[in-house]
Amino acid sequence: MKRRCSKFVGLLRGINVGGHNKLLMSDLRSLCTEIGWDEVQSYIQSGNLVFSAATTATRLEDQLEESIERHFGLQIPVIVRNADDWSRYVKNNPFPEMSLQEPNRVALALSKRTPKSDAAERLRERAENGESVTQVGNGLWIHFSSGAAKSKLSPTLLNRFVGSPVTVRNWRTVLKLDDLGSSRPASN
């Protein structure tokens, strides 16, 4: 009996940044295949995956975190969402005009657990230079009006206010992962 697979998007937090937590995407794809995931694809070097598997997002996060630590000795938070949920993020982007004008300055921030109820409000209090923060469902959307590098909304601050590890992807990456997650598998 063939198992029923769903498409997922997986995000690794903090790999290949500033020479830290180096992990080749080819090694990551191979590891994912070893643990039983199908149709594994990666996008750029910052730990973006699209794949098929037959279990829950939480179990997939645990599987990959444990496997990365065992094989590479790295403790990397992994956030997994169903591809259908990912498409809803795209549809519900609260900054559509800014996304067209400045796609690298609009970002989706996702966390391992649902953000604390006051996370967006607390982040807005720290926002500067016209930055905007909006929560839609379990995602936080940020418009970095002067760019993320100049923002006071640091990864440490996001983690603290949200209450669990957070990873951020810009609009271009969000769209690309949606495209990969919604594409039909190639027939053999």
185 found inside a domain: no
Query: What pLDDT does 187 receive?
Result: 32
Which residue, 85, 105, 132, sits at the end of a domain?
85
Whole-number Cα distances in Å, 27 to 41, 72, 93, 110, 183: 12, 10, 32, 24, 23
In a domain, 136, yes or no: yes
In which band, very low, low, confident or very high, does the pLDDT at 20 lie, cut at 50, 70 and 90? confident
Residue 134 resides in a domain = yes
Taking only the tens place, the pLDDT of each residue in 120-166 is 999 999 999 999 999 999 999 999 999 998 899 999 999 999 999 99
Q: Which of 64, 85, 106 is the last residue of a domain?
A: 85
Residue 156 is predicted with a pLDDT of: 93
Say whether both 66 and 94 belong to one domain. Answer: no
On whether both 169 and 94 belong to a single domain, the answer is yes
pLDDT score, position 151: 93
Residues 37-70: tens digit of each pLDDT = 999 999 998 899 999 999 999 999 999 999 999 9
How far apart CA 118 and CA 46 sit, in angstroms, is 28
CA distances to 58, 82, 174, 183, 184 from 178, in Å: 20, 10, 6, 8, 12
The whole-chain average pLDDT of the chain stands at 93
Q: b or e along 6-15 (b: 16 or more beta carbons within 10 Å of the residue's beta carbon)?
A: ebbbbbbbbb
Question: What are the pLDDT digits (tens) for 81-109?
Answer: 999 999 999 999 999 999 999 999 999 99
Structural domain of 45: 6-85
119 & 164 share domain: yes
* Residue 163 and residue 117 share a domain: yes
Does the residue 184 lie in any domain?
Answer: no
The answer to whether residue 188 scores a pLDDT higher than 70 is no
Indicate if 80 and 141 belong to the same structural domain: no
61: domain CATH number?
A: 3.30.70.1280
CATH of the domain at 96: 3.30.70
Structure confidence at residue 57 (pLDDT):
95
pLDDT at res. 3: 64
- Render the chain in DSSP notation, one character per residue: -PPPPEEEEEEESS-SBTTBS---HHHHHHHHHHTT-EEEEEETTTTEEEEEESS-HHHHHHHHHHHHHHHH-----EEEEEHHHHHHHHHT-S-HHHHHH-TTTEEEEEESSPPPTTHHHHHHHH--TT-EEEEETTEEEEE-TT-GGG-S--HHHHHHHHTS-EEEEEHHHHHHHHHHHHSPPPP-
Task: Quickly state the pLDDT bin for 19 (edges 50, 70, 90).
Answer: confident
What's the total number of domains in the chain? 2
The pLDDT-based confidence of 2 (bands split at 50, 70, 90) is low
